[in-house]
Amino acid sequence: MSAAEQPWTQWVSLRNILLAMDHSPASLRAVPFAVDAARHYGGKIYVCHVVSTPEYGALSPAAMAVVSKLEARAEDRLVDALGDRLAEVPHELLLDHGSLSARLVAEADRWKIDLIVMGTHGWQGIRKLLRGSSADEVAHLATRPVLTVGPNVSSSPEFQRVLYETDLSPAAAHAIPYAMSVAHAYRAALYFLHVNEWGKGEPPVAAVPSSKQFFHEQMRRFGYDVSENDLELMVEFGARDDRILDVASHRRADLIVMGLNCSSSLRARITAHLPGATIYNVIAKAGCPVLTVPYVG
């Protein structure tokens, strides 16, 4: 189904874009995706660099002087690293200090950001347990959609095929307008996927009809007039992250869209160190970026 051919008007706007930068190769991989989103939505990029400082308590004047020097150095390095990559879109540089995830979320609130874009190392196993994942923490903590560019991303930022995945939850339903919006803005084909996981309480025989019912109910809820023949609907069986990755690879998806429940600060921090979560596994292994859309239940 090509969303560009549909006469829908209720699109989500992703004009104000926050790009998280820390000079790492992971963050630099995210730059072209932020630029391309700004071009397609006619938006502006806020490049945010956070100097890590103690999370609690006020800094002494001496410490603040050090932070100021670090911020000035960070600004120079950002200018050097980005070069003219942002020349074609409006942009602004933001410098902050404190906890990376907390300050990114705060800056997103301050500037009324519509989309956070960031890269991730995609650490797995013991490395994630020990070092955690800032991208994973931000995705669970933010109240804005987060576009995360993983270590295996090789696709271009020009999305041509968008894969929306659902577990039939309210969080997944909340992500539908964002998948529709991106497909419309990029004139991309949009595919719908539901994975029936073994042992999750959904009888396999009910997977296909329940998926069709879910999609049609949610489409009508958001004001999209879509017939059954308009939906490119797939139902897979097995481990959710494995099946998402297989379908994304087979369909040559340029973007995966998933809903995600918001977490408290403590829970988001714990989740950032835990291995095995479906969405993080998809982000870490996919050959395309993943757009997670937060849901406050």
CATH of the domain at 60: 3.40.50.620
Residues 115 and 159 in one domain: no
Residue 233 included in any domain: yes
The type of residue at 103 is: R
Residue 144 included in any domain: no
Residues 165 and 83 in one domain: no
Residues 191 and 295 in one domain: yes
Helix (H, G, I), strand (E, B) or coil at 169: coil
Using the 3D structure, point to which of 119, 142, 170 is the last residue of a domain. 119
pLDDT at position 75 over 60: no
Give the number of other CB atoms < 10 A from CB of residue 220. 11
What is the band of 186 on the pLDDT scale with cuts at 50, 70, 90? very high
Using the 3D structure, point to which of 119, 142, 167 is the last residue of a domain. 119
Residue 268 included in any domain: yes
Residues 110 and 161 in one domain: no
Residues 170 and 96 in one domain: no
pTM score? 0.86
Number of domains in the chain: 2
For 23-68, give the DSSP string.
SSHHHHHHHHHHHHHHHHHT-EEEEEEEEE--SSSPPPHHHHHHHH
Residue 67 structural domain: 14-119
More confident residue, 23 or 286: 286
Burial zone of 170 (CB within 10 Å; 0-12 exposed, 13-18 middle, 19+ buried): exposed
Instruction: Quote the percentage of the chain above a pLDDT of 70.
Output: 77
In angstroms, the CA 291 to CA 276 distance is 19
More confident residue, 94 or 147: 147
Residues 106 and 228 in one domain: no
Q: Which tens digits make up the pLDDT trace of 230-258?
A: 678 899 999 999 999 999 999 999 999 99
The phi and psi torsions of 244 (rounded to 5 degrees) equal: -60, -45
Cα-to-chain-centroid distance, residue 154: 16
Using the 3D structure, point to which of 119, 136, 162 is the last residue of a domain. 119
Residue 145 included in any domain: no
Residue 128 included in any domain: no
Residues 167 and 280 in one domain: yes
Residues 157 and 206 in one domain: yes
pLDDT at 2 (0 to 100): 43
pLDDT at 175 (0 to 100): 94
Residues 258 and 189 in one domain: yes
In angstroms, the CA 37 to CA 117 distance is 10
Residue 265 included in any domain: yes
Residues 166 and 272 in one domain: yes
Residues 67 and 175 in one domain: no
Residue 105 included in any domain: yes
In angstroms, the CA 158 to CA 265 distance is 34
Residues 57 and 163 in one domain: no
